Each structure stands twice: as C-alpha cells, then as structure tokens.
Structure 1
C-alpha cells in the first residue's frame, strides 16, 4: 500500500490562540483509542508531527501554539494506540495529553494541574502494516477520505487539488455490486454506455469515454480483465475526475474525462472468513468467499483469497451469464520494506449478449418502451478468459526517502459470435450479419519511482519521480457468415451460422507507451497552501499488421505535458483548489461498424482547467467544481460510414457532490453534474455550436440510507438516478429522451451464535421503465443506443465463519 505523508489542513504554529487539528472521529474510534494501529510519522517539528498523527488517528486536538513553538519530534514508526502514539511524540517536551471530550484532546504542561491523561509505558514495535493506512471512512463507511493518486501517492481528498471520490468495500457490498458498472451507478459524473447484458463494460466520465482497459489495478494499467471487472476483487474504487495523465500516465485507450483505479484486497489486522450466497433475477445463483489471515511473529505476512461463482438466466429472454473469479493477494509488512503480489483468473460466458442499437439515416429513434424481448440471436455468445497478476514493492531508504516499483502482466483470450443491430427504418427492421470475432491479448507493464520529503527553510517539499512502461499486443480474428433479417420489436430467429461467407482475416497490433514524470508539491504557510508542479514526458508507439502485411497507420510520437495544481486551506474545514492538466492520449480506432474498420488514428492532446471547493463537516462532506476539457471530436459519417476526426469538442461543466452522514442514522451519497458540450471547427463549420452527441446536460444521483431506530441492525435504502436528453449525431438531428431510474432496498445485520450475519435485498429499476440509457460514447468509435436493464431483484446473505 502507498506510504502516507498527509498534509493536513491544520497547523499548530499559526498565530492563533487555539487551533483544532485532525478530523472528526468516526464512531469506531472509542475502541480504536486503545487498540494498536500502524503509524509512520517522520521526524520534524512537533507541530507538524502532531498534525499528521491527529489526521491519521481521526481525532481532534486543540493546542496553544506557544506550547509547541520551537519543539521537535522524533520519528514515530510502529504500532500504537492513539494515546500511546501521542505519548511517544510528546516524550521530552514537557507536555502531556488531556482529554476534553469524546475523541477530543488538548495539550497541557506536565506541571499544570488538572485531569491529565495517564499513559502507560509502551513497547515500540516495527511497522507491520506498512507506511500507509487505509484512510478513515466518512460516517456510514461508504466513502473513504484517502485515495490512491498514482505519482502523487496516497492523499486525503481535502489535500488534493482535483476532484476525486473513493468508494469503500462496504459501499460495494451494500449495493450488491457484481461488476464495475453496478458500482459506478452511484456517481453523477460517471455513466455506463453499454447494455448491462452486453459483451463488455464501458463508461463516460465528465462526458468522455472510458473503457475497462483504462481502469488501473493498484495503479497499473492493462492488468485487469478487458471486458468486465468483478467487484469481489476490489477493496476500494478510486474515481478521479478529469485528465489524469500526470499522475497515472497514458492509458491504453486514451481516456481523458477521468480515471478509475481498483485497489486490491489484502489481509487486514483481524482474521476474516465470510461466505456470501446471492441471487439475481431471473435465476442467477451464486456464492462468494472472502478469507484472510496474517502470519509471523509480528503478523508481517498476509494472505487473502476471494472467489466467486455465479450463473443463471437474466431478466432478458434467451440470455444467461456465467461468471467465475479467483484472486489471491499476498503481502509482507516489514519495518522498512513492504511487498505485495496479487494474481487472479476470471471467466465470463454470456449467451445472447445485447448490443447497442444503431439508428440508420432513414430511421427515427426507436421506441424503447416497445422493446419487450431480447433482440440478440439465441446463438450469439461472448466468452472471455483473463489471467493476470502484479507485484508491488516499497522501501524506506530513510525517514524522508522512499523508492517503489511495480510490475504486472495479463494474458487474455476472447471468443465472440455476435451481430450488430442496425435499424434501417421506422418499423425497426435490421439485417443480422453474424460475425465471429476472436481477440488474444498480452500485456506487460511496469513503474518505478522515488518519493522524497524535505524542507527548504519554511517551505516543505514532496518530490516524486517515476518512470513507466506499458506494452500490449493483440490479435483480432474476424469471420463473416450469411445474413438474415430480424426486427427490434418482434425479433425473428435466424439459423445458427454455418460455413463462412468470407475467409477469416486477422489484425495484429503492438502498443508501446513509455513515460517519465516529475512533480514537486511545495507547502507554504505551514502547509496551508500547497502548490503542485509537474510534467510527464510520454512516447506512444503503435504498429499494426493485417494478414501479415504492415499497416500504413503506424506512428511514433512523443510529447512533454505540463500540469499543475494549487490548494489553499482557507479553514480547517474548507479547501479551495485549481488545476491545469494536459496529456497525450492514444489515437482512436475505427469501429467495426465503419467502412475503415480498425484504422488507427494518431495520438491527440487533451487539456483541462478546473477550480473547486471542498467543505469537510467531519461526518459528511460537500464538494463543488467547475471544469473545462478540450479534445478532438470524432464521428462516423452517416453516408460514407468512414470514421475519423471532425472538429473539436469542449465540455464545460459544474459538479456538486455530497457524501457522509449529515444526520445520525441517515446517510446520503450523490450529486449533480451539468455539462455544456459544444462542437467547434467542424468541417465547413457545418456542426459548429451544436451539442456533442451522447452527452446529457444533467446527471443527477441521490442515494439514501436510514438506520431504523426501533430495529437494531435494520437499514432501509433508496436511490434515484436521472440523465437528461442526448443527441445521437453531430448534426443534432436525432435524440433520446431523458430518463429516471429508482432503486429500493434493505439490509439487516445480526448475530447467530456469535457469528455476524447480514441479509440484503434490493430491487433496481423498481418501476420497470424501458428507456435508452445512453446514445453511445460521444468521443470515440462506439456509437449506438444502450437499452436499460429491466426490473432486477438482488438478494444476498453474508455469514462470517
């Protein structure tokens, strides 16, 4: 896990009579005060050390600045309770801790009278949990304060000069999320753009496309499965808004609207043994196991296993899904060395997977409410196998210098028998053109870097230097068969494909991305003003061959991309920030629906400017941001069917988000995103000023949980999701209506013979509305309408054993 060196809002050396340090405590802290935890606080001024410790411990500390002025603190490296940690930091200072309330303390001179807190002697232990702690969760446990930020390490969201939300494993369980598409449904900045019963997952972040290939695993791109990511392997989900090339490097498919990082599961301090039995309508039954243990005389070795098997029919006729996953995480916690390795295998089999609906030039937008049956042919299928793994390591050279590195790999085999759904008229007729498609992928990726903390006078520095390498080769096989006819509203069964009508062809592609990044976060005014300056040099190399003949679209380009961010902690609760980021992204690839299928376009540059504010109320938080992102626009010409660039698009937007527990027993999670997406510099200025396709003006999410006061352990849940209308094309000649989805649920936690049991029940799309959830992905090759999932029941029981 990344080493934590937080820069918290409070500072004891400011010229005020009393300053409140740290965070409002979570309910579990009363127990945590007496239980050892793992801390890593470098030597330095006493004010800085107390600030860091209070933030990591999640307590409040009020201090007279005069008491700590000029005092120094030793290194704190080991396992301590909250009280023991403070005692160690205060040793030899003439000060001691005094409780002034629940999870609140002050410092007093040892000679002063009063109810000073007596601290028993403690034995210093080596740092077994590594230098990083999982950040404290906001009340209710849905959102984590601290998230992984690639080059910049792990930071509290209040110290981050960009928008970011980290969802916890508790949130994943509460939503009964099976895949990443289920999990991101809570975020207003993210939308799923492929059918739930489809071959693959794809998303938009701030209106720009993000493929599964661009989802990182422990900070490494390309390691996770290409088409679907099971949530049972995720400990946390980091969602970063806006271009993230500085902190994460260039992504395999060139996403610019944001990034998603999956944090792998590793063994915690307490043993864990859980089994979850699940049901999803129509008749999907499954079981998942989560087991972890620590070993060694100081619990320095950890192992965690997660496995899942779920199979059965979905609510759509003819469709079934069978998914399997097994992931093992091993870790070592030494005094200065931390190592972890994660490896896994997933398989997914889908019969009759749904495709996006393509609307022809002479057809109107079909009526989603009339689509009552699965329009995919019974013989269509999707088979995916992914085997992956990675190794991470960190070593503290000394108290102010850390080196780190990671390597990862993946081998994947995919086999599809599918057909597009191109509606040609208002009646919903389309031609079924069967296509056999295979894809074999091989990925090798690595990062290495160092992180150095030091001061120059009154200015603190956190310097990060890293180098990255990503290699992926893949081979696509393509076979075509005789066509048939069907209808969107009244599907017609066509014969299973027999002999090919066109010889099989293959395309082989190699991608190599290399980069070097350097950043420095400078802290002024006792770290109340943080300035991050950085740049990443990136090189993109792409080569391709078709049936052994080298293609003409290969390229080798490089660019130095500067980025910067500034954050000012106006108060202990309020952070104001601004950032500018730009990055090089891999060029788009023409889709299978285009006449120039698989043509690779040159890299492009994206740019973002953002300003925002974050207010931390302790038990909950509010964030607001305004952003502008620019990049080239792409389209498939409606007449020629040629895919290529056409002008530029500019997304200007506002985001508001809320998470936490504003009222005890009531938790909220959601927000609003507004986007004004405009096309510019299109061919002959034909579409200038039009709205970019597949981009709603508004996304609204609001989820709520209520702990029923009269029934201990019972929680009722509800969620509403809304997206406004979207255009299908750059001409803005066709559009889909806005839509709403409502979910309801409940969970009940209790004990049976001392064992924890949790029952969960929820229903998604309670009203069983049928609507077009997306008009595709506005900035890439995958256009088409995404049909909503019908009413879906989810049931699960988790038992600790």
Structure 2
C-alpha cells in the first residue's frame, strides 16, 4: 500500500471517530476553538507536567507560561532570559503552507529567515544560523533536520528561547545540516503538539495557494473513558500543486495522532506519525565570485534556477512518549522518549550556485568554481533515538522555596549519505535569464547506495534548581555531557566530557515586572568538513567548540501588552576556508564570532480592537582572536546590524479581522567565494496582508481567510548568519483557506 493510500485510509478512520459517542453534547459556543476563546482547559506535558488553563497575554498570540527545561512549566517572569511562547492563534494567523513555520518564526525579532526555499528550514537567531536540527518536539531534541520541521497543523504552542538556557534541557546532538555540525545554538525552539481538549473538535480545512497548490487538513479530537481520562487528537495533511515560483511544486502527505491519559497520579502523552514530503524545483541558494562593493542587482524573484528533474524528498516516521508519575505530594518521576527515522533523495545543482560580478553562472578554471555548478544525486538517511529519566520535586529550606530536578539522558544518532556528481562545465546563462545547460549535461548521475558517515552518542546528567526567596528567583543548573562521536568516513573517533553551566537571577518588584540576568555555556563537537574535493582535510572532524552567552533584561506587562528589553552577548567559533594553493582550501576554526545586541519584543492588545506582535533587534557582530589578529574586528558574514518586525491585527467586529505585517532587515555583508572583499547585501522590507471572516454555512461554523505574502512582490537577497552564501526571495504568494468546524 502506498503512503498516499495509507494516509487516505487513516483520514477516513479519523473522520469516523466523529460519530463515536465519546464527547458530550455541546452548544455552538462550546464548539468554538478552545484556544481562541480562552475557555478550554489544556493538558500539556513539558516534558510531562499536567497543567490547568494556561493564561494567554491579551490578544491570544503568546502565553504567560513557558517550558523551563527539566523543571517544567514556569511563569515567563521567573525565567532569566528572553522567551516567547507562540500560541496556535499565532500559527493560524501567519503560517504559509509553502514555507513551513518560517513565516511564523519571523514574528520573533531575534529570528530572520535564511532561505525562502521550502527545500531548507534555515533561519538565524541573533545572527547565528539554525534549522530543524535545533527544534525540540514535546521536550525531545534532535528529531528533525535541515529539510524537515514539525508541520504547523500539529502544533499547539512553540516555546522560543533566544537566550542562555543550554543546561536546563539535557543533552542533544551536534549535527546542523550543511554546516556539518558543531555550532552551539543561541537558543531553542520547543514544539508542543495538539492534545484533545474537553470540547470535541472535528475540523476540516481547505487551502489554495501559489499557482495551484491545494491542501486538505483534518483535525479531530475527542476525550473518552471514565472521567474522560483518555484523549485522542488526529491531524492529517494532503498538499499538492504548483508554488508561486514557476516550475516549483510541493507534495506533502502526513498523518499524526496524539494519545494522552491523565488521572490524579500520572499523565502520559504519546505522539506519533509518518510523513512524506517532496519539493520539486525551488533552489534559491547562491555564492558570489566577484569582488565588487555590492552584490549585482537582484533578479526577478520569479526566475527559476532548476533543471526539470530538480527535487528533494524526505519520508519517515517520528514518535515521542512522555510520562509523569507522582510519588507523593512533593516528588514526581518523569520519563521521555523520542525516535525518528527519515530517508531522502535529492536531485539538484550541488549546493549553492556560483555567479560572477555580471550575474553569469561560472564554470571557472579553479577547482572550487568548476565543482560547485554541477548536478548532484544525493541519497541519505538518518536515525535518532532519545531517552531521558528523572525526578523533580519541591523543598523548603528556611526562607527558600526550591523547584528542583535531576535527570539522566542518552541521545544517539547515525547518518548515512552518498553523493554522485554530474559533469563539470555545463552551466551557462545568468541569474537574470536562468540557467542554460550544456549539451553534455545529460544523462544525470544516478542515485548510489548510501554509506554510513558518522555516529554520535551523548550521555548526560542534568541537575537544576529554581529557588524563590521573596521577590528573588535564582536558577542554578548544570549538565555533565559525555560525547562520543565517530567519523565513520574518516575512521576517526572523538570523545569529550564537559560540564555545561547555566545560572540566572531574577528580581520581581511586582508580579508583572521582572529584572533578570542569565549566563550559559554550550559545548559541541567540532564541525565535520564536507566531502568536497576543494578541501585538503575533507571529511575531517575539527576540534570541539565552546560558546558562551550572557543576557540582562527587563520584562513588563502593562495595558494589555507584554514587553521585553534585553542586552546580550554571545560568542561562537568562526570557521574559514584558508587557501593552500592550487585551488585547494583547508577548513579550519579561526577565532570567535562575537555578537552583542539589544532586543525589544512586544506582544499584546493595547486596544480592544487592536493586537500587536513583533519587535526590534540591534546586533553588532564582529570577529575576535583570529590567527595573528588578521581578521580581528571584521564583520561576521550575513548578519544585519538592524532588523525588525511588526504585526498588527484590527478586529472591527467579532466576525472580521484585518492583519498587516512589516518585516525589515538592514544591509549585511559577505565575502566572495575566495574569502576576499566586503560585499554588501542590500537592506529589504516586505509587507504581508491578511483578512478573515467568520460565518456559518448552514449550521457549520466557518472561517474564511485570504493572505498575501510579499504583497509588494519585492525581490531581494537574503543573508545567512555566519555564512557568505545567500538566498533569493520568493515572489508574491496568495493563500486562501476555508476552515469548517463540523
């Protein structure tokens, strides 16, 4: 049975659930979305804490509570770093099915998208590149990849931490997509999946976007059993058709279920499902060989840069299991498990396409340029397994109240890969007219059986204590991480044992105001040098790296608006390609990238009919401690000094709303492919517009939405944090959706 047939069968089974007498009759008001109405209790595990009603900040876009690693749910005013807990309403307002999660993450001012192509999930947080590898699912790390991210239709909440919190989450893997691993993330994104609420949900959504992408979504939730102790939520997606980019197509099929159980002494949550995701075309990643002051004029964003067979496909399964068991009134044991398996195939033009100062695609004479513009057939696979067990509790010592946790975890991953490259010298044309392929471009290389590349095993012990003394909150946490990394391709093994500390201090003069300081240190294995002929140390694993973060800030809630102002400093290792002659390079660490910045976020409802979300970021990024001081004080590639986002929603009536969003990024700088020059990526600003209308079709509550991304059809280059590669925007994209609560 094909995956699509499996999905159809499961969708029909899920819809059949609607007829089962598990839920009690409800009024029309009760059948409204519980998250949006703010009237439904939710039971979420973070990782396994059972909660009552979660209080949203006015406007419903973010929540006042968030996940504090192994300590569970805490008020954001007690957390000593920047935190934004995005709700399901935020996702529904800003999500674009052609760019999963990217358009929602933009509402956090510390995050900027690094690519417009759904072939990748790259984004930067405070200037440092990240992707799906850095996302957690129900408190479990390392289940996603550079291509795969959690589908938005299964998400109830996203806890975004852009600050020093490394030691409170346990151990995670080092792999980081095409970066070959290694850079410790500046923050975390924890995805909490939808659970069945007390009000039954039977929802069907139809989406039309781009040049003919049609999507169908089901969402069915019921509680059943004695005292409605059991809950089942089923979510499915069928998405197929042409994107707004000419010749670009998406094909997504997935089905997920969330089964939970709760009683007075325990709570359990099981999330599982399978996915099959394919993108045809849509390569938008480039490198520059010129030595000009500014990149060549940006081409029309609608221009395709693919041969007709260009595709990227990933399919697999994913599962998380969270369990919490009360021992007595003070102590609770918890257990978390995660598993993911994914397999993939890709036909594209190697990695980033290279062009010169005239915009012409180059086949150049150097080894680097000749081998970059060529076709590639890639076959890959990955397996990830995570286990965590621990105990948490409360204690009082004198005037100090303690919330503490002790956990042990084990994270294992293995990666297989094989590339098969096509002929050199077959790329002509330019960024303005598209690629012209030479007469010997075909036949394309075939897929080869993949081979194991690396295996990583991390074992850790985490101890955390959140103390309250009057108006003061003190966080002390540390993880001892033992890392065993085997570079199979190079037959090289690296082992490290390190202690990663996190501490923070918060003063709360009132319940709605806090002043805080936080510090953390992250540690990760060194980067795995790519298997490319330009590197004399290809496949080598570099030395382990350490990154430090410090942040001080203030949070305040007033007039229905939550604001956070933070000052931060982050350092991370800088990677360079050092020329060794003959067109060859050595990949190596060279000093630090240092990021100092000021961030302001705002979320809330300053007026009965207006909701605001967004903020501003100032980021001063420079290199330090480079070899011989040669690059000290130099810019960090791809990082804009100023950026911001503001989203406004106006609701003249309960049935109608209008949303506008402005996303702005200042100019950034890169070096060319040879590591020379200071080349400007121009600033850009985009506008997104949305309107919704709630009505009834017969007796069925219906919500109609029309969204336009990049409404002014702006074409622009996009920097990637810490990299001299860059992306090209997507053209204007329209999306219409109709949501039916049956």
User: TM-score scaled by structure 2?
Assistant: 0.86
Which runs of no fewer than 5 residues in structure 1 stay unpaired? Answer: 1-26, 41-128
1:726 CA displacement: 1.1
Q: Which structure has the bigger radius of gyration?
A: 1
**2:658 aligned with 1:720, yes or no?**
no
Q: Identify unmatched segments of 5+ residues in structure 2.
A: 1-32, 176-182, 364-372
Distance 1:176 1:551 in 2: 43
**Counterpart among 339, 343, 348 of residue 413 in structure 1:** 343
Match of 1:377 among 302, 307, 313: 307
Aligned to 2:484: 541
Determine the structure 2 residue equivalent to 1:286: 215
Structure 1 Cα separation of the partners of residues 161 and 247 of structure 2: 37
1:691 counterpart = 2:635: yes
* Distance in 2 of aligned mates of 1:769 and 1:563: 42
Aligned ranges 1:29-428 → 2 under 5 Å: 131-133=50-52, 135-178=54-97, 179-197=100-118, 199-224=119-144, 226-229=146-149, 230-252=151-173, 253=175, 254-360=183-289, 365-370=295-300, 372-419=302-349, 420=351, 421-428=353-360
User: 1:610-629 residue pairs with structure 2 within 5 A?
Assistant: 610-617=551-558, 619-629=560-570
Per the alignment, residue 797 of structure 1 pairs with: 738
Residues 743-762 of structure 1 correspond to what in structure 2 (within 5 A)?
743-762=688-707
Could you tell me which of 435, 439, 454 is aligned with 1:492? Answer: 435
Q: 1:159 to 1:751 in 2, by over 3 A?
A: farther
1:536-557 per-position Cα deviation (integer Å, ceiling 9, x unaligned): 10111110222xxx533x3101
The structure 1 residue matched to 2:605, chosen from 661, 681, 685, is 661
Quick one: distance in 1 between partners of 2:124 and 2:585? 24
Is this contact kept in 2: 1:189–1:205, CA < 8 A? yes
| C-alpha separation in 2, matches of 1:592 and 1:619 | 53
2:19 equivalent in structure 1: none
Q: Tell me the distance in 2 between the aligned counterparts of 1:587 and 1:485.
A: 34
Distance 1:174 1:735 in 2: 33
Secondary structure of the structure 2 residue equivalent to 1:275:
strand
* CA pair 428-698 structure 1, distance change in 2 beyond 3 A: same
CA RMSD of aligned residues (A): 2.5
1:588 & 1:173 partners in 2: Cα distance? 37
CA apart distance, 1:692: 0.9
Take 1:392 and 1:165, find their aligned partners in 2: how far apart are those partners?
Answer: 23
**1:446: how far off?**
1.1
Q: Secondary structure of the equivalent of 2:58?
A: coil
Contact 1:211–1:255 (8 Å) recurs in 2: no
In 2: Cα distance, 1:501 partner to 1:572 partner: 63
Q: Decide whether aligned partners of structure 1 residues 771 and 205 sit closer, same or farther in structure 2, where only a CA change above 3 A counts.
A: same
User: What CA deviation, in whole Å up to 9, does each residue of 1:402-442 have, x standing for no partner?
Assistant: 11011111111010111141114424223441111111111
CA offsets 1:341-362 (integer angstroms, 9 cap, x no match)? 0001111111123141011255
Q: Secondary structure at the match of 1:174?
A: helix
Q: Give the aligned partner of residue 518 of structure 1.
A: 463
Could you report, residue by residue, the CA deviation over 1:676-697 in whole angstroms, capped at 9, with x for unpaired residues?
A: 1111111222211112111110
> CA contact under 8 A between 2:418 and 2:450: conserved in structure 1?
yes
Mark the CA change 1:473 to 1:497 in structure 2 (over 3 Å): closer, same or farther: farther
Residue in structure 1 matched with residue 25 of structure 2 by the alignment? none
Aligned residue pairs, count: 672
Distance 1:236 1:28, change over 3 A: closer
Greater RCO (CA < 8 Å, at least 6 residues apart): 2
Q: Does 1:556 align with 2:495?
A: yes
Q: Which moved more, 1:716-725 or 1:362-371?
A: 362-371
Indicate how the Cα distance of structure 1 residues 497 and 448 shifts in structure 2: closer, same or farther if over 3 A, else same: farther
Change (3 A) 1:362 1:677: closer
Counterpart CA distance in 1 for 2:498 and 2:124 is 25
- State the Cα distance separating 1:181 from its structure 2 match: 1.3
Matches of 1:796 and 1:131, distance apart in 2: 33
